[in-house]
Amino acid sequence: APSPYIRPVGAPLTVIAHRGASAVAPENTLVAQDIARSNGADWIENDVQPSKDGVPFVLHDSTVDRTTNGTGAIRNLTSTQLKQLDAGSWFGPAFVGVRIPTLAEQLADLRTRGGRLLLEIKGAHTKAEVGRIIDIVRAEQMTGRVFIQSFETNALKYSYELAPEIPLGLLRSTLDADPVAVARQYHLTAYNPAVAALTARPAVIASLHTAGVALMVWTVDSASQWQQLKTLGVDGVITNRSPELVDWNAAN
């Protein structure tokens, strides 16, 4: 059967909200998730890393410095400390008091209010740390609505060993010589390259599709590039401007 993630010719691009609607709300928060969802995004993308006490939190950087009022590496801060931080005021006064969500909180919000998650395991993780993420996905009864992606091939390997039912995507900044071989090696459902790498060698799209592998391309915020990727046959687009891409899909 063809991959459900491969977009049929002529169908709209799959809209993946990069860290939520991160152009208009603080990234990787439930506010950003809610705006993306209510404006019609198909998927929310996030970044997941553990606290000092091993609780998976939703944060992009390895430190809290840029996106909260705190300082320090997330892996050196306890979940209690992380929960005290303000993750909204850096973005604007309308978001004062917004907290860093845990993965469990984010999944519970998606389960009860709708939406799917492209869950990025950010940075090197041990197998036990990947296991904790999977335990939470299962506890929240969200295995059918979660797709795991990572730049870290070990994280994908661990995920496949622990939960082969969860689809996997490999993030790449540059293309592999043979992306199809890499897709087979890591049991990939999607191969997710940076847009510049892909448009330099678009023939890989057909090769991957023939092998049943979808492409979700990052991070693409301009209509001219959305048009280029749609014409090339890409499946999903990871964008900071998901409300605009939803509108663009409807008009194109």
Catalytic sites, residue numbers: 18, 60
Which of ligand G3P, Ca ion, none interacts with 171 (beta carbon under 5 to 8 A by kind)? ligand G3P
Q: Could you give the dihedral angle defined by the CA atoms of residues 81, 86, 91 and 95, in that order, rounded to the nearest 10 degrees?
A: 150
User: Residue 238 in contact with residue 218, Cβ under 8 Å?
Assistant: yes
Closer residue to ligand G3P, CB minimum distance, 81 or 147 = 147
Query: Using the rule CB under 6 A, which residue among 47, 129, 140, 152 binds ligand G3P?
Result: 47
What are the φ/ψ torsions at residue 105 (nearest 5 degrees)?
Answer: -65, -40
User: Residue 226 in contact with residue 205, Cβ under 8 Å?
Assistant: no
Query: Using the rule CB under 6 A, which residue among 219, 223, 225, 233 binds ligand G3P?
Result: 219
What minimum distance in Å lies between the beta carbon of 1 and ligand G3P?
26
Q: Which residues pair with 49 in a beta bridge?
A: 57
190 near ligand G3P, rule: CB under 6 A = no
Q: Looking at residues 159 to 198 of the shown chain, list those that interact with Ca ion (rule: CB under 5 A).
A: none
Q: Looking at residues 106 to 145 of the shown chain, list those that interact with ligand G3P (rule: CB under 6 A).
A: 120
Q: Give the whole-angstrom CA distance, residue 189 versus residue 103.
A: 22
Q: Could you give the dihedral angle defined by the CA atoms of residues 246, 183, 208 and 116, in that order, rounded to the nearest 10 degrees?
A: -20
Q: Give the whole-angstrom CA distance, residue 39 versus residue 6.
A: 22
Closer residue to ligand G3P, CB minimum distance, 123 or 243 = 123
Summarize the chain as % helix, strand, coil (round to 5). 40, 20, 40
What minimum distance in Å lies between the beta carbon of 202 and ligand G3P?
19
Closer residue to ligand G3P, CB minimum distance, 205 or 217 = 217
* Cα separations in angstroms, 120 against 37, 60, 189: 18, 9, 14
Query: Using the rule CB under 5 A, which residue among 42, 109, 120, 140 binds Ca ion?
Result: 120
Query: Using the rule CB under 6 A, which residue among 45, 129, 152, 235 binds ligand G3P?
Result: 45
Binding interface with Ca ion (CB under 5 A): 47, 120
The site for ligand G3P (CB under 6 A) is made up of 18, 45, 47, 60, 120, 171, 218-219, 238
